[in-house]
Structure 1
Amino acid sequence: MSGSVVQRGLLRTLDFLLVEWLELGSLLRRPRFADHSVDTCTDLLAMASQIAEEVFEPADRVSDVEEPRVGPDGGVVLPAATHRAWEAYRSAGVAGAGHDHADGGLQLPRTVDMAVRAVFSAAGPNLVPMLLTEGNAALLAEHGSPAQRRAFAVPQVEGRWTGTMALSESQAGSSLADVTTRAVPDGPDSAGDPLGPRYRVTGDKMWISGAEHPLTDNIVHLVLAKIADDDGAVRTGTGALSLFVVPKVRVGPDGEPGERNGVSLVGLNHKLGMRGIPNTALSFDRAVGHLVGAPGQGLDQMFHMMNAARAEVGLLAAALGYAGFAVSLDYARTRRQGRPRGVRDGEQVPLVAHTDVKRMLLAQKSYAEGALALALYVGRLLDDQRTGDDGARTRAATLLEVLTPVLKSWPSEWCLEGNSLAIQVLGGAGYTRDFPVEQFWRDQRLNMIHEGTHGIQAVDLLGRKVRLRDGACLRELGAVLSSTATRARAAGLGGWAADLEQGWADVLAATDAAWRDGDASAALANATPYLQAFGHVVLAWVHLDLAVTAAGSAHPEAAGRTAAAAYFFAYELPRVAAWLAPVAGGEVLCRDLDAALL
């Protein structure tokens, strides 16, 4: 039941966002995308939706119950349904859809690639241990040598291998300066290895998704480690971190598989949600790794993958939010319960006729569809960064700096709230496993932690991004918001335009107030409410821009866009003032509180 309602609604929404709002047709006229048309992209999404509905959605339910386990041989055992889903995904040829033809990709716009990922994520988040594979391959394509690209990236793009990002360690968590995994040169000939300088990597990594599974013949780990000096000592701090490509199975210069590398599964972590993804503790015992780039560049290189992963998390959160909305909307339309106020007799009405149910559904709609739009807008910026003229590239890069922490954090917080409302709409039924909304909520909860907590994203935004190049990111985003406000007034939406402008002015004033004394500890004491306010203003802009497009569109989804915008401006944007109050007032309660009082 749920698969069909989710996929039908999602395809309609994506069609409006891609074709009407982001003007996919004009993007496809760029030389890089000459092999594609709006029709071929639409067909690809329809094919992905069919696989998602017929294979991913039922397999996702199975994988939630039949969790990964360690088999007798020390490997991970997954249910047969997961194997079928992965094979269907791999056979569809969309694993590396945005990558170059030369690397085995379809050379699709990232905008379309992200739409395809949304389709699969809405149906089977437990079947995407490959979440990090695209980012792994993209990092190697950007920073790896040609030999590393051929040996390690191409098989991932083609769907033959998968990849991970191995940063975290139990004693370090998000404090990467405290990573203890070390690397030593592997003999006197190590520097001349065709696949890059060869090292022996030793250490333990934790919370690594998809780091052991039976779906592919090899798994490519990108590992942060510190290079040991001749006396065995390692430097401290993040500047000492280097990046190594460490495959599960060693690879020869021409990509031929060799012997098993020194990478061992220590155990599996059993999680609240996304139970179908093997989440592992790994041990690297003198595993052969090849240095990517130069020593000491590891963290800068890894940010390429981390930012891609943060965008993926935001997209996944949006897709899960949409899935919950679609299922609860279908339930509310078909479940008859109660009567209008003041009416005692007669036929019961559908749940969707009740005011508070409409409120909850409108909230879900505004969260999920707004988050999806933001994710696809970021995809469009990635396309502009790669294929636009010089001005478009600079503008896109600047906007991506400030929007990445918002895309990671906002959908993971507010689509979680949307999934909670989906349970509420179904009432007692929502709390049972007869319907998927309780699983959506459990799966969603990881996204607030995954790839950097809210606090980390908040410090990145207020502590760094808004201050880059003397506020260049704020100026560029402000220009985008101002352009939308101007067009909104011409479309008869002047009231919302004024509200958006006031919200943005309040954000700018709070930014200045936070840094008025130049004291970072005081400024960042309220970084999280600042992020919440900033994100809500960005989403208000998204909804207003969508409403402007809808005002001149005959698309079946256009009217719904206006309803979602009306809800957001009436119920959500007013929250901004409360979040910004402690920021502007310099509140330091949380910084100065004696921990003994907790």
Structure 2
Amino acid sequence: MTFYSKRDLQFQLFENLRVMELTRHAYFHDHTKEIFHLVLEAAEQIAENYLRPLLTEMDRNEPKLVNGKIKVHEGMKAIIRQFGENGWINATFPYDQGGQQLPNTLHMAAGFIFQAANYSASVYPFLTTGAANLILTFGSQELIEKFTPNMYSGKWQGTMALTEPDAGSSLSDISTTAYPTEKEGVYKIQGQKIYISCGDHDACENVIHLMLARIKDAPAGVKGISLFVVPQKKVPFGESNDVLTEGIYHKMGYKGAPIAHLMIGSNDGCEGFLVGEPHKGLSYMFQMMNEARVGVGMNAAAIGTAAYYSSLSYAKERPQGRKIGEKDPSKPQIPIIQHADVKRLLLFQKSIIEGSLSLLLYCSKLGDIAHAAEGLEKEEASLLLDFLTPIAKSYPSEMCCLTTSAAVQVLGGAGYTTDFPVEQYYREARIHPIHEGTTGIHGLDLLGRKVPIKEGKALQLYGREIATTIFHAKELSGLSGFAEKLEKYMGKAQQTTLHLLSKAADKTDAFLADATLYLEYIGILTIAWQWLKQGMTAQEQLEKGSSEQEFYQGKIMCLRYFFEYELVKMDALGKRLLSTDMPTLEMQEDWF
């Protein structure tokens, strides 16, 4: 069964995004279109041969904690090792680190294929990528040589260890403590961490935690947080480093990857190695977190994509009912895809997942430009990526909870059973609005930080990019009406943003009370922009007389659907954001 569209991914990368433009930068200069296609083909082969066959098994047979060790599906050993041997874990890294200097855009596209095939299996290697990249970027040469080779090979798992029972998303309140030792850069670590993805399992020989902790007597708050490499087993001899698995969390979805509760230094025997300078850990960790946030959006879009294609296949095959005007019961039933409301459910899914994928790959390209370019181009790409990151994380995460629900609805009663995979996708989608920062946190980040940053420069760049798309769309026959409509909503968004900013100085609570709604509001505008871009690419091909009329007409129809059904939701959200009635602020605890 199809779990993603190879044709759409090629459209997104090579036609709409024009990913080959990246090869003008020296860092990516060695790559060709043929290489990029080979990367995608290799990803599809691994997904189909190794990941997809274990999708249901890993969901039904979740990890177990046995005698202090988490046991995962036996197939993960081969999968992780293959990712290592084939160079996926460090593919984006420099040549001198054994990497291929592959654009992150292609790495993310390959990840999309893996995630659509089997989300649980896909997370293991790419967690290691993020952890290894932190060591490579901020760690000493000694740490790089000591830890990264076995991480690249897949022998060792990498993790990000932030969350604690009494801190949650409030990282300024973490209590895990690092005590200096006689060895420079080596600390005794004590504390606990919860919800650590792949924090312990038996598919690798060691687990390398990139852990936030506070050095004894460090300043309070985020200014006192440092970053440490904390291996589960000591290197090179392999004895316990006093990182013990206290428990395992049993989840509603995403069951094939373990989530661990770790106790660190209970026996005063845990050594951690300082990464970079003391008290700069949170700024270092944000590199991995920001990469992971776009990755979370991609995870959500991938799961939504798999659910869409499952429901599309079912809708084409399932006969039920007849056309509204047909009264003769002797006439054969029609496939449910011919019913308008089923088409609506499918169009909803398609417009969200393909609009989200467009945004996510665009963000990945901005990241590649920020990495490889110089001067103003680098600065603007970095600033625009910062602005778009909370949107790219949250919009797909929230909306793919709804699209996977729509996939279940297409199947009706069958969708509510374990006989079809859509119920699994529905459960797996729900984690994404939570991890790597809840939607509420990203709303605060967008409105409270990204909108006013550098006196609004990021917001201005965002507006400039949309205005450029609108300008060019007006020149294409058939798209001028969409361009004008987006221009109208862009103007409304600017007025709404200015209204909210006027509250920032002396009414901070009112300014940020509906930050999550503002995030949703700007998210809709952003995906509409991406659909106008896709529509331009499709319209140009149709005017050239492309032989793929059905594919490009499908894009135009999704553009129409999104503007008719989704973009108009900005009206209600805008009305709420402009209102002076603040029931969420005025409601008292005792009134609940």
**TM-score range relative to shorter protein:** over 0.9
Q: 1:259 aligns with which of 236, 239, 253?
A: 239
Aligned pair partner of 1:222 in 210, 216, 219: 210
Equivalent positions of 1:9-408 (< 5 A) are: 9=5, 11-72=6-67, 74-127=68-121, 128-187=123-182, 190-191=183-184, 197-229=185-217, 235-251=219-235, 256-285=236-265, 286=268, 287-343=270-326, 344=328, 345-408=330-393
Aligned residue pairs, count = 577
- 1:528 is aligned to 2:528: no
Gaps of 5+ in 2: none
Contact 2:320 2:336 in 1 (8 A): yes
In structure 2, what residue type is equivalent to 1:494? S
Kept in 2: contact 1:311–1:407 (CA 8 A): yes
The answer to whether the 8 A contact 1:93-1:159 is kept is no
Amino acid at match of 1:533: Y
2-side partners of 1:436 and 1:30: how far apart?
A: 42
Q: How far did 1:27 drift?
A: 2.0
Residue 582 of structure 1 is matched in structure 2 by 576
Q: Greater shift after overlay, 38-47 or 411-420?
A: 38-47
In structure 2, the partner of 1:6 is: 3
Residue by residue over 1:458-480, the C-alpha shift from the partner in whole angstroms, topping out at 9 and shown as x without a partner, is 00000110000110111000000
Q: Matched residues in 2 for 1:466 and 1:364: separation?
A: 29
Following TM superposition, by how much is the alpha carbon of 1:308 offset from its aligned partner in structure 2, in angstroms? 1.0
* Alignment map for 1:447-466 (pairs within 5 Å): 447-466=432-451
Query: Is the Cα contact below 8 Å between 2:351 and 2:559 reproduced in 1?
Result: yes
- Asked whether the equivalents of residues 64 and 276 of structure 1 are also in contact (C-alpha less than 8 Å), the reply is yes
Change (3 A) 1:568 1:555: farther
Instruction: Tell me how far apart the structure 2 counterparts of residues 526 and 44 of structure 1 sit (CA, whole Å).
Output: 42
Tell me which amino acid in the other structure corresponds to 1:365: K
2:348, 2:39 → 1: CA distance? 30
Report if the CA contact (8 A) 1:399-1:477 is conserved: yes
**Counterpart-to-counterpart distance in 2, 1:161 and 1:504:** 48
Question: In structure 1, the residue corresponding to 2:334 is in which secondary structure?
Answer: coil
Runs of 4+ in 1 over 6 A off after TM superposition: none
Q: 1:120-151 CA deviation, whole Å, 9 max, x = no partner?
A: 00011111233422221222222222222232
Taking structure 1 as reference, are residues 167 and 587 closer, same or farther at Cα in structure 2, changes over 3 Å only? farther
Preserved CA contact (<8 Å) 1:100 1:107: yes
**Residues 366-409 of structure 1: CA distance to partner in whole angstroms, max 9, x if unpaired?**
11111111111111001111122422211111111110000110
Q: Which amino acid aligns with 1:590?
A: T
Gaps of 5+ in 1: 192-196
8 A contact 2:210–2:230 mirrored in 1: yes
Matched, 1:503 2:486: no
- AA aligned to 1:471 is G
| Residue 78 (structure 1) shift | 1.4
Cα pair distance change 1:555/1:532, threshold 3 Å: farther
In 2, the alpha carbon distance for the partners of 1:593 and 1:341 equals 48
Shift of 1:525: 0.6
Structure 1: distance between partners of 2:221 and 2:537: 48
State the SS of the aligned residue for 1:446.
Answer: coil
Pair 91,154 (structure 1): closer, same or farther in 2 beyond 3 Å: closer
Q: CA RMSD in A?
A: 1.5
C-alpha displacement of 1:88: 3.6
1:531: how far off?
0.4
In the TM superposition, residue 235 of structure 1 has moved relative to its aligned partner by 3.9
Name the SS for the 1:260 alignment partner: coil
Q: Which amino acid aligns with 2:166?
A: Q
For 1:499 and 1:158, the matched residues in 2 are separated by: 51
Cα distance 1:555–1:259, how it changes in 2: closer, same or farther (>3 A)?
farther
What is the CA–CA distance in structure 1 between the aligned matches of 2:355 and 2:150, rounded to whole Å?
Answer: 35
Q: Is the 8 A contact 1:24 1:38 kept in 2?
A: no
Structure 2 letter corresponding to 1:584: L
Aligned-residue offset at 1:95: 1.9
Cα separation, 1, equivalents of 2:442 and 2:174: 20
How far apart are residue 29 of structure 1 and its match? 3.9
Worse overlay, 55-64 or 86-95 = 86-95
Task: Assess if the C-alpha contact under 8 Å between 2:73 and 2:256 holds in 1.
Answer: no
State the AA in 1 paired with 2:210: L
Contact 1:136 1:153 in 2 (8 A): no
8 Å Cα contact 1:125/1:316 also seen in 2: yes
Q: Are residues 376 and 555 of structure 1, via their aligned partners in 2, closer, same or farther at CA, if it must alter by over 3 Å?
A: farther
1:555 Cα shift? 7.5
- Cα distance in structure 1, aligned partners of 2:528 and 2:512: 24
Give the aligned partner of residue 423 of structure 1.
Answer: 408
Q: Does the Cα contact within 8 Å between 1:318 and 1:415 map onto a contact in 2?
A: yes
More displaced 10-residue stretch of structure 1: 154-163 or 298-307:
154-163
Among 426, 442, 445, the alignment partner of 1:441 is 426
Structure 1 residues 414 and 221, CA, compared in 2 at 3 Å: closer, same or farther? same
Structure 1: distance between partners of 2:473 and 2:480 = 6
Partner of 2:499: 513
Deviates more, 1:354-363 or 1:344-353: 344-353
Q: TM-score, normalised by structure 2?
A: 0.95
- Which deviates further from its counterpart, 553-562 or 518-527? 553-562
Instruction: Assess, with a 3 A threshold, how the Cα gap between structure 1 residues 87 and 277 changes in structure 2: closer, same or farther.
Output: same
**Aligned partners of 1:513 and 1:585 also within 8 Å:** no
